[in-house]
């Protein structure tokens, strides 16, 4: 058995520190911490694999831009014959305070174009989601610039430790204990 873990983001180097790219940051931290193989181009994205607590994990960062992320995910899932239950996506979440993390299975896209694309291409929203809080700017008209804006210098005090804790606690996700993962991250990652 294998699991597909997907980090959502946009591929342009100038977007690397955008709030919208925190999914890329999380999957990079996990792959680095657990000694995954080097990233290589595959499935319209960057792909690598490794093991966490004996579980085979495929890591994927779609290079299709956020709005078409589902194409990359669907290609990888179809190739490895994985179901929605085998897929976990790491993504930014406006409806969570910065630094907060929640895991859930299924649900709506809530305006997130990466999730909307995955729902469309996979034919179901019933995959796992690791929602990484980036906070809401307070007004709908500010959302676009907020998600495509870079994390502020002050954010680094919580963002680095949060990504470290997500990587450290990844074994709990691999074991199928998302509640334990959330608890550990909440207890060990500093709140902004």
C-alpha span between 80 and 96 (Å, rounded): 32
Catalytic residue (choose from 20, 34, 91, 112): 20
Closest-CA residue to 167 (of 10, 47, 7, 3)? 7
Q: Known catalytic residue: 188?
A: no
Which three-class secondary structure state does DSSP give residue 14? Answer: helix
> Which residues, including other chains, have CB under 8 Å from residue 69's CB and lie 6 or more apart?
6, 8, 62, 113, 114, 117, 118
C-alpha span between 9 and 152 (Å, rounded): 17
Give catalytic residue positions: 20
């Amino acid at each position: 058995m294998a699991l597909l873990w997907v980090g959502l983001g946009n591929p342009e180097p100038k977007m690397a520190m955008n709030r919208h790219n925190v999914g890329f940051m999380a999957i990079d931290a996990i792959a680095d911490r657990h000694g995954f193989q080097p990233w290589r181009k595959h499935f319209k994205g960057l792909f690598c694999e490794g093991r966490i607590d004996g579980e085979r994990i495929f890591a994927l960062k779609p290079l299709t831009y956020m709005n078409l992320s589902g194409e990359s995910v669907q290609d990888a899932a179809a190739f490895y014959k994985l179901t929605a239950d085998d897929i976990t996506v790491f993504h930014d979440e406006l409806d969570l305070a910065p630094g907060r993390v929640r895991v859930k299975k299924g649900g709506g896209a809530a305006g997130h174009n990466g999730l909307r694309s995955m729902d469309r291409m996979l034919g179901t929203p019933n995959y796992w989601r690791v929602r990484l809080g980036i906070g809401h700017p307070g007004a709908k008209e500010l959302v676009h610039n907020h998600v495509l804006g870079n994390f502020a210098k002050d954010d680094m005090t919580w963002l680095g430790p949060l990504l470290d804790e997500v990587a450290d606690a990844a074994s709990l996700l691999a074991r199928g204990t998302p509640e334990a993962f959330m608890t550990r991250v909440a207890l060990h990652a500093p709140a902004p």
